[in-house]
Structure 1
Amino acid sequence: MPQIVRLTLFKIPDPAIIQEAIQKYSTLSQDAVKDGKQYIQLALANPAHADPRSQGYTMVARTVFESKNDMDYYDNECQAHTAIKAYVKPNVAGPPLVLYTDA
């Protein structure tokens, strides 16, 4: 089964919130556990460059999973992801754009 690479683009207007969200993503692969083990292979976030082509998206999060099942667990059951969503959701301008593909 191929790895899954997921990109999530956010429209977060406040640079301080962006920096805090980036910090939260920096420890996500250590904080997120499934069946008592870490399951996210890579998690990081960066601010987007200010450019008209960015279409208002200000932060990009990249996560890599071993499988689609792991990504589904991340979306529906992961407590570490739930904590990040609780922080980010009230601070975004519209829903994020999520894209994923095989590695």
Structure 2
Amino acid sequence: MPKIARLTLFKIPDPANVQEAIKKYSTLTQDALKDGKQYIQQAQASPTHDDPRRQGITLVARTVFESKADMDFYDNECTAHVEIKKLLKQIIEAPPIMLYMDLQ
């Protein structure tokens, strides 16, 4: 079964808030636990370049999961994800765009 790569694109207008979100994502692999164990393979967030083609998107978060079931756990049960969502709901301009795909 292939790993799952997930990209989440955010519109965060304030650069200071972009940096705060990056900091939160930097500890996600340690903070997110499933059955008491770390389960996220990779997590990182990066600001986008200032370019008109970005259409207001200022932050891209990338997470890699061992399986779709792990991603579903992240979406529905992970307390670390709840904490990130609390932060982001206060600072985003529009709902995020989320894409996921199999890693080949």
Q: TM-score, normalised by structure 2?
A: 0.97
| CA root-mean-square deviation | 0.5
Q: Tell me the alpha carbon deviations over residues 56-91 of structure 1, each in whole angstroms, 9 at most, x when there is no partner.
A: 100000000000000000011100010010001111
Match of 1:51? 51
Q: AA paired with 2:86?
A: A
Q: Per-residue deviation at 1:32?
A: 0.2
Q: Distance in 2 between matches of 1:55 and 1:3?
A: 29
Figure out how many residues of one structure are paired with residues of the other and give that number. Answer: 103
Unaligned runs of 5+ in 2: none
Match of 2:86? 86
Unaligned runs of 5+ in 1: none
Q: Distance in 2 between matches of 1:52 and 1:17?
A: 20
Q: Distance in 2 between matches of 1:93 and 1:102?
A: 29
Q: Tell me the alpha carbon deviations over residues 5-27 of structure 1, each in whole angstroms, 9 at most, x when there is no partner.
A: 00000000011111011000000
Q: Per-residue deviation at 1:52?
A: 1.3
Q: Distance in 1 between matches of 2:24 and 2:93?
A: 19
Q: Secondary structure at the match of 2:41?
A: strand
Asked if residue 101 in structure 1 is aligned to residue 101 in structure 2, the reply is yes
Q: TM-score, normalised by structure 1?
A: 0.98
Q: Secondary structure at the match of 1:21?
A: helix
Q: Distance in 2 between matches of 1:102 and 1:87?
A: 28
Percent of counterpart pairs with the same letter? Answer: 69
* Runs of 4+ residues deviating >4 angstroms: none
Match of 2:72? 72
